[in-house]
Copies of this chain bind each other. A is one copy, B any other.
Amino acid sequence: MPKNGPDPRAILDLDRIVHEPARLAILTVLASAEEVSFLFLQRVTGLSKGNLSSHTQKLEAAGYLETVKAFQGRIPVTSFRITEDGRAALRVYHQQLRALLPKEGKP
């Protein structure tokens, strides 16, 4: 019986917005909290400010998160929330990853 792995074409269908590690990290954090501040996100991901800023912008453009700008006293604080679309995209992405992982316990 010929070894029959996952469909290689399916791999090419992965959502590149989600697939990029920096953004996947961001979405992963956002998925587990209601709202996350820019600075917290930066600390927890280790991304540079510039990098984090552009990735969140890209995620917002994709409709996967929304940006909330507020003031903490008189200093401005930017926070993010994952959207339903973002959650859905992440779910789909996870499903696709599962599909391409070999079943647990191969020789």
Interface residues, chain A, with chain B CB atoms under 8 Å away: 3-6, 8-9, 11-12, 14, 16, 19, 21-22, 24-26, 28-29, 31-33, 44-47, 94, 97-98, 100-102
Name 30 interchain pairs, CB-CB below 8 A, sorted by A. Answer: A3-B32, A3-B33, A4-B32, A5-B28, A5-B31, A5-B32, A6-B28, A8-B26, A8-B28, A8-B29, A8-B44, A8-B46, A9-B45, A9-B46, A11-B21, A11-B25, A11-B28, A12-B22, A12-B25, A12-B45, A12-B46, A12-B47, A14-B21, A16-B21, A19-B19, A24-B100, A28-B100, A94-B101, A97-B97, A98-B101
Taking CB atoms, residues of chain B closer than 8 Å to A12 are: 21-22, 25, 45-47
Taking CB atoms, residues of chain B closer than 8 Å to A102 are: 94
Taking CB atoms, residues of chain B closer than 8 Å to A101 are: 94, 97-98
